């Protein structure tokens, strides 16, 4: 590359807006069909366990906690975010969120337990 051409390119790049985002200082805008963390609605679950059968990475466990009450344990470290479990659930008890900030230093925090007794469908991490 000729020095004159290179100087011209350097000067252009000094006045250009950067191509990178200022993450984590600015919030990222996620695309419409992004597949993030799973959310489980215990009140909708009928215990058919189709989500377990269809999960290719065996990341979901459904346990009965009472009569017609179920909890889900989702291992986000195993999940490949394919959304097959969401598609196969007949009652729409599972859904994909846009939450993609899932990094953890402790592997045990990647196992999320959704319990039936929570009214607002909150999760408990174990």
For 114, the 3-state DSSP assignment is: strand
User: What pLDDT is stored for residue 72 in this prediction?
Assistant: 93
Q: If you average pLDDT over residues 65-82, what whole number do you get?
A: 92
For 124, the 3-state DSSP assignment is: strand
Angle at the Cα of 26 (from 24 to 30), degrees rounded to 5?
A: 90
Angle at the Cα of 82 (from 81 to 86), degrees rounded to 5?
A: 95
Q: If you average pLDDT over residues 67-96, what whole number do you get?
A: 93
Task: List, in order of start, the domains of the chain with CATH numbers.
Answer: 29-125 (3.30.70.3270)
Write the pLDDT tens digit of every residue in 12-63.
888 888 778 787 888 877 788 889 899 999 999 999 999 999 999 999 999 9
Instruction: Give the chain's mean pLDDT.
Output: 86
User: What pLDDT is stored for residue 101 in this prediction?
Assistant: 86
Q: Please check whether residue 45 is in contact with residue 58, taking contact to mean a CB–CB distance below 8 angstroms.
A: no
């Amino acid at each position: 590359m000729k020095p004159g051409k290179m100087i011209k390119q350097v000067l252009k790049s000094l006045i250009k807006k950067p191509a990178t985002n200022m993450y984590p200082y600015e919030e990222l805008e996620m695309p419409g069909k992004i597949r993030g963390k799973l959310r489980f609605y215990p009140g909708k679950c009928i215990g058919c366990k189709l989500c377990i059968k269809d999960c290719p990475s065996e990341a979901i466990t459904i346990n009965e906690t009472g009569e017609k009450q179920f909890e889900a344990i989702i291992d986000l470290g195993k999940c490949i975010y394919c959304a097959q479990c969401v598609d196969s659930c007949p009652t729409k008890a599972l859904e994909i969120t846009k939450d993609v900030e899932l990094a953890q230093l402790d592997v045990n925090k990647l196992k999320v337990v959704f319990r039936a007794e929570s009214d607002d469908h909150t999760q408990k991490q174990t």
